[in-house]
Amino acid sequence: MRIGDAAAELETAAHVLRHWEDEGVVVPGRTASGHREYSAEHLSRCRIVLSCQGVGMSLAEIRAILHRGEAGRASVIAARLVAIRAQRISLDSAEQFLLHVRECRHDFMTRCPECSEYAG
């Protein structure tokens, strides 16, 4: 599949796929005439890249985890897991705050000990 078709299937721009190739994240094969050729495997990798970007991963991080032999792969994964866990704690805290605020009967949040605790 050529780059335009791949981009359309992935609902992204062709220049994004070219950038990923330049960064060594997803490198498609080439036809005899030099056109990029995306296989089903390449499209699967692209979908993984999109998902990883959706959770805030950089192309360098994605490249490191996609390629088993990449130096520092384990440390990239460990660091991302730490970040995800911290984000989960932050999101849980925000959720609890909003659940409380929805039912809070104080006129001002600063007068509510539970609301004020979240800001502290």
Indicate whether 83 pLDDT > 80: yes
What does pTM read for this prediction?
Answer: 0.76
Residue 120's SS3 state is coil
Q: How far is residue 16's CA from residue 97's CA, in Å, rounded to a whole number?
A: 38
Q: How far is residue 36's CA from residue 26's CA, in Å, rounded to a whole number?
A: 11
- Pick the most confident of 6-10, 64-68, 102-106: 6-10
Decide: residue 93, CB within 10 A, 0-12 exposed, 13-18 middle, 19+ buried.
Answer: exposed
Lowest-confidence pick of 18-22, 60-64, 103-107: 103-107
Could you read off the pLDDT of 41-78 as tens digits, one per residue? 999 999 999 999 998 899 999 999 988 888 899 999 99
